[in-house]
Amino acid sequence: MIRRQLLAGVGAMASAPAFAHGAAPGDVSGEVPRRIALDMHFCTRAHGFLLGAALIALAGGPAAALDVAGVKSGVTSEVAADYPHLLALYKDIHAHPELGFQETRTAAKLAAEMRALGFTVTEGVGKTGLVALYKNGAGPTVLIRTELDALPLEEKTGLPYASHAKAMWNGRETFVAHGCGHDVHMATWVGTAKALLAMKDTWRGTLMFVGQPSEETVAGARAMLADGLYTRFAKPTYVIGIHDSPDAAGTLFWHFGPQTTTADSLDITFVGRGGHGAMPERTIDPVVMAARFIEDVQTVISREKDPAAFGVVTIGGVEAGTAGNIIPDQARLLGTIRTLDDGVRTKLLAGVRRTANGVASIAGAPPPKIALTLGAYSVVNDQAVTSRTATVLQQAFGARAREQKAVIPASEDFSEFLRAGVPGTFLTLGATDPKLIAAAAAGGPPVPGNHSPLFAPVPEPTIKTGVEAMTLAIMNLLPKT
């Protein structure tokens, strides 16, 4: 049915310019270039479609335009037939989450799905990642990425398929939940593969479906690249991904230029002298030092950083003591540092270190143990790929698809695939019941977001919309037969 619908439209397709394969005009991985890219983003965002069209035209070479209506109709039919299976897959993955670099069950399940479709699958890439290839004639290679991992978080959604899983994390047992929606991404990933193969007579090229481990630690993409993702298999021509959000289910967003923040981590241990809680004068209290640091470090944000520049220092973990009447001999803090500007990044990292040392000095304590680890870079979407994708999504979804202008104050190691010299784009998929959004707007409970124990994407229409959008975006980058 899909083939008949598509072939009817293919015959009437008009020609349109194509991209220059292998170019990466959106890759701003250097220190100074990222600042330049951010400035360009704000200068050109209003003219994104015109600039994108110009870049495509400069690349030269005709390509058949995508029959958006025909493809969308075919994908809608395909995903409707597959949806019971995709829903069951989603619920199974949701109920059995695994933490980063522990995703053995998840990876095996996705590998089995892709082998059943006819993909050549390699497991164990970057520890627990997988690569599934499908060659369908001469043409570009498109990398389609999903994450595999979940969060060390107790789910409190009350869903009948809620996770009750536990695992060891950083030396202690923790609950595990898909509180970031990676289960939605995986179901969408499999559904997109099925839809593309159902219409393989209408496109040429190579599909490179990548299941990436440990996104939440922003280490999985680097692990796969270090394990030869772009050398053992193929360096893709384009890379594309999608992430759910607490926006209304069925909505879609694209973003020109820098989209997410950097992500650096802090791990600071204040060393004191323990003793009896009733005799603090005989101790050096590391809990007091930790508390002082948590408060004082915020002055780095409010008094040292340009108020107009984005920057966040958050302490998310505090570990100290075993009993209320014992002053411990150390206190450990775990946190995250988020920025967009490299100058701000350097300032915040220096400020965190200086504040920690200062707090210890004031207390008469030894210097603290400070570990500041550089993590993810900003996701910087390629102008031309994003423009071309945006045009198709607007045609297919109308007002449900629009530009996302605000930078997302979160981080993603999807950036690593782009920084390795491949142009691409990262889409956003709304996943929240619109009734919850309306209730919140009317003064009801706030809408749970990603990483909340209450975050509960609605599978329909979220998964169906994700499959339709990803399939359209990918086919728009592949030559037509």
* pLDDT at 37 (0 to 100): 37
The contacts found for 353-356 with CB under 8 angstroms, 24 or more apart, are 355/293, 355/296, 355/297, 355/299, 355/300, 356/268, 356/270, 356/293, 356/297
Which CB contacts under 8 angstroms, 24+ apart, belong to 115-121?
117/193, 117/194, 117/197, 118/197, 119/193, 119/207, 119/209
Supply the pLDDT for residue 3: 41
Q: Which amino acid is at 235?
A: K
Which numeric CATH code is attached to 263-376?
Answer: 3.30.70.360
**Radius of gyration, CA atoms only, the chain:** 24
Contact between residue 432 and residue 249 where contact means Cβ atoms under 8 Å apart: yes
List the domain boundaries for the chain: 25-260+377-475, 263-376
Do domains 25-260+377-475 and 263-376 share one topology? The answer is no
C-alpha to C-alpha distances, 220 to 132, 180, 265, nearest whole angstrom = 17, 16, 16
Regions in the chain scoring below 70 on pLDDT: 1-64
What percent of the chain stands above pLDDT 90? Answer: 83
Residue-wise pLDDT for 154-181, tens only, equals 999 999 999 999 999 989 999 999 999 9
Peptide bond connecting 461 to the previous residue in cis, omega within 30 degrees of 0? yes
Q: Based on the number of CB atoms within 10 Å of its own CB, is 442 exposed (0-12), middle (13-18) or buried (19 or more)?
A: exposed
86 CA to centre of own chain: 21
Residue 481 pLDDT: 85
Give the pLDDT confidence score for residue 64 in this predicted structure: 67
Measured distance CA(411)–CA(215) in Å, rounded: 10
CB-CB contact of 190 with 111 (8 Å): no
Question: Which CATH number applies to 25-260+377-475?
Answer: 3.40.630.10
What's the whole-model pTM score? 0.80
Question: Could you read off the pLDDT of 331-358 as tens digits, one per residue?
Answer: 999 999 999 888 999 999 999 999 999 9
Residue-wise DSSP of 17-41: E---TT--TT---SHHHHHHHHHHH
